[in-house]
Each structure stands twice: as C-alpha cells, then as structure tokens.
Structure 1
Amino acid sequence: MKVIVVANPKGGAGKSTLATNIAGYFASRGHHVMLGDADTQQSSKFWLQQRPPKLPFVATWEIEAGQVPTAKPPKGTTHVVIDTPAGLGGAALKELVQRADKVIVPLMPGVFDMQATHAFLLELMQLTRKLPTKVGVVGNRVDARTIACANLKEFAASLDVPMLGYLRDTQYYLHMAAHGLSMFDITPAQVEKDLEQWEPICHWLDKN
C-alpha cells in the first residue's frame, strides 16, 4: 500500500487542492484509493461528499480533524492520501513521516510562504534522512515566467528538496473543488495545459 502525505504548516498553501487531485489521479488509474482529511477545515472531506458516483471511486478514511490517523485502512486499499492540518510538526509529523512513502509539500511563491515553510522542510529532511520516505515540493498558483517562480526554484534548491512541478492559478481548481472533481475527471482537451503541469508530479508519485 502506498501512503502519500500532503503537508505544509501554513494554512491556505493548497494542501487540499493537491490531496484531492492526487486521490483523483490514483482513482483514474484504477487503484483502490482512500482519502483521509485531518485538516480542521475538512475541505477534502467536503470534496468527497460532492463527488459524483459515476466517477472513479475514492473512499473516505474517517480521521478526526486535527489528529494523526492511527487506524489501518481496510484490506484491499492500494493508495492512501492524507490531507494534514496547518501547524503540523513535532511528534505528529514524525509519526506521519514514518508511515508515509512520500510527503508532498505545496508551496506558494511568496516570501512569507517560503519563510513559514523553511523550518518545516528542514525538519522533514532531518526526519527522512534515514528513512525511505521521499519528499518533494510543488509550486502552487505559480506563473513560471515570473521572478517569484525563479525565487521558488532557488529556495527549493537551497534545501536540496526536489521541485516536482508548478501548478498555475486557474479557476478550474475552484470549480472542481465545489463539485468533487479532479483534473483527471475532466475532458483532457479542456485542461490540456494543467495536465501537462501534472505530468512530472504524477511521474514522481508513481515511482517506487
């Protein structure tokens, strides 16, 4: 079973957007997926409740808001995605990292966002130093042509954390969140640019 943890100590970084789209991606590939929402805002849980039954199924993993999951997913589950609360750190982060195959960190291209995430990434790298757990960063709401994007690349490189890709700021994500959809549930021609941005991220997720 593959466990993907989506984490950032800062609220509003795009954790739920990443978590729901990752779950949607795995489901579109025919995997048995569970999505757990430990965030107090419960955005991923709302997404699950809105998801049309005709789409590839994503099961709900009931997690108490603000808590680290302790129970095991049911047998037959192949992929678990966990949306974590803001402020995650310390013992809770350590426990999640030990259970995760991969930790993916969404990051906005702003000075305050990078500053708030700096210590968290250092902690992550220290926790995973002797573990097989992989860590990657995804730039969220990024225009690849801007200085802010260049600063984001430089920031990730300074910490020796792989920058997996960049997701642009588009209304599609808001629309999908409201209707329980992911990028992988929409006609590809409508979201061609966005699917291209997801390719390197999905490749990283699929690797052992």
Structure 2
Amino acid sequence: MVILIGNQKGGAGKSTLTLLLANYLTAKHGRKVTVLDMDYQQSVSAKYEKARVLENEVPYEVIPADLAHFPMLLQVLTKNPDEIVLIDLPGKMDDDGLIPVILSGDLILCPFNYDEFSVDSTLLFAMVTAKINNRAPIVFIPNRIKTTVRYNTRVEVDKVMKNFGTVTSVIADRIDFQRVDTIHTPAIVLPVVLPIMDIIYTAHLEKEHKK
C-alpha cells in the first residue's frame, strides 16, 4: 500500500505527520514500513541519519528519493504486498515527475491549517491530486491548530474539503511535536495523535491488511 502525505503549502506539518504515522504503524500494528523522503528539505531523512549515527535500532527505513528514481523504487518496494510505503511529497506541484508518484497512491493524507493561504493551497493540492488519481481517498487533517485561536471559517472550510474527501478531528499545536523522530513519538502527544491514527487505520488500512 502506498500512502502519500502532501500539501502544496510549506509548513503544513507533512514531515512530522509522516513520522507520526510511521511510528504508529510499526509500534502499534507491527507493520513493515518504508518512508520515501521526497521533500526538498529532507527533514525525515536527517532525523533517520541522526538516529543511525547514534546507533539506535531504527524500526523502519527512510530513503531520500529523487522523482526520477521513483518508478524503480516503487517496483522494488511493492513486491511485498504487506509493505506500506509512506511518501513525504515535495511542497510544490509544478513538476511533471510527480504524476507517477500521485498515480501510485492508494491513500492521500493532507495536513492543513485554517488560515486563508493554507486553505487555498490545500484545495489546489486536492484538485490536482484528485484529477490525476481519482481512486485514492483523500483525508484532510487539521494540523498545528492553536487552541487559543478562534477559526471563524472552520465550519465553511470543512464543508468545502468534504467535497474532495474526509476531514478528521484536529491535531493541536504543541511544542512537543518537534521531538518526534524515527525512533519514537513522545508520550505526551500520543493522546492527541492516537485517536486520529486509529480512525485512519480502521477506515483505510485494516481491510487492506486482512485481504
């Protein structure tokens, strides 16, 4: 199964969400996971290499991946039907090399915020990905939401997003998310993250695993 994590808006939390999902799938469900880091900043790869330098036993592999090498990588990784490939997409959608990547997705996760620029970028991302790949469900995840801010457009935004996919409950903004790495998720953020991960797993991955 191939899961894409993306948004055209930088800073939406794609890389952190990728780590959270990889940690969840390996720790809670014992799934075989490989992460393809296609983001230009390659922050997931950096954390992976840091863990290896410190001689920690990493629960999954992270591969820095170039768009040009994607078809061959995908062919190798998907030979195992139980393998879950998580792809941290680049922050821009203006490269034709992304088309085969988007086409490969079985599920698309899109973290976003309720500010105007983030919403516009998220909708553009959803329209582009849905046009290229109309078989993969899109799950929108309100991310880094400040509990002290009142988002006046939230109801309207959720309504629009639901034209393209489903919207989960929010992930509140916490400084502790900066401590997420390829080894573990800090216990203090688990109560916020686990309910959303459980819903995604039950709705989209559990049935696939039982086939």
TM class by smaller structure = 0.7 to 0.9
Q: Per the alignment, in what secondary structure is the counterpart of residue 118 of structure 2? A: helix
Who is 1:60 aligned against?
A: 62
Q: 2-side partners of 1:137 and 1:123: how far apart?
A: 15
Q: Per the alignment, in what secondary structure is the counterpart of residue 86 of structure 2? A: strand
8 Å CA contact 2:138, 2:164 repeated in 1:
no
Q: Per the alignment, in what secondary structure is the counterpart of residue 165 of structure 1? A: coil
Letter in 2 for 1:99: S
- Write out aligned runs for 1:136-151 (5 A): 136-143=139-146, 146-151=151-156
Q: CA deviation at 1:125?
A: 1.9
Who is 2:136 aligned against?
A: 133
Work out the percentage of aligned pairs sharing the same amino acid. Answer: 19
Q: Per the alignment, in what secondary structure is the counterpart of residue 147 of structure 1? A: coil
- Write out aligned runs for 1:28-43 (5 A): 28=27, 29-43=29-43
Q: 1-side partners of 2:56 and 2:13: how far apart?
A: 26
Who is 1:14 aligned against?
A: 13
**Aligned length in residues:** 198
Q: 2-side partners of 1:84 and 1:97: how far apart?
A: 9
Q: Per the alignment, in what secondary structure is the counterpart of residue 140 of structure 2? A: strand
Note closer, same or farther for the CA distance 1:16–1:115 as it changes in structure 2 (3 Å cut).
same
8 Å CA contact 1:30, 1:56 repeated in 2:
no
TM-score for both structures, normalised by structure 2: 0.79
Who is 1:97 aligned against?
A: 102
Match of 1:86 among 87, 91, 101: 91
- Write out aligned runs for 1:161-176 (5 A): 161-176=165-180
8 Å CA contact 1:19, 1:81 repeated in 2:
yes
TM-score for both structures, normalised by structure 1: 0.80
Q: Does residue 111 of the first structure (1) align with residue 116 of the second (2)?
A: yes
Q: Does residue 3 of the first structure (1) align with residue 5 of the second (2)?
A: no
Q: Per the alignment, in what secondary structure is the counterpart of residue 11 of structure 2? A: coil
Q: CA deviation at 1:151?
A: 4.1
Q: 1-side partners of 2:121 and 2:141: how far apart?
A: 15
Q: 1-side partners of 2:105 and 2:94: how far apart?
A: 15
In terms of mean alpha carbon deviation, does 139-148 or 167-176 score higher? Answer: 139-148
Q: Does residue 196 of the first structure (1) align with residue 198 of the second (2)?
A: no
Note closer, same or farther for the CA distance 1:22–1:15 as it changes in structure 2 (3 Å cut).
same
Note closer, same or farther for the CA distance 1:69–1:56 as it changes in structure 2 (3 Å cut).
same
The CA deviation string for residues 117-153 of structure 1, in whole angstroms up to 9 with x for no partner, is 2222112222233xx3222211111257743543431
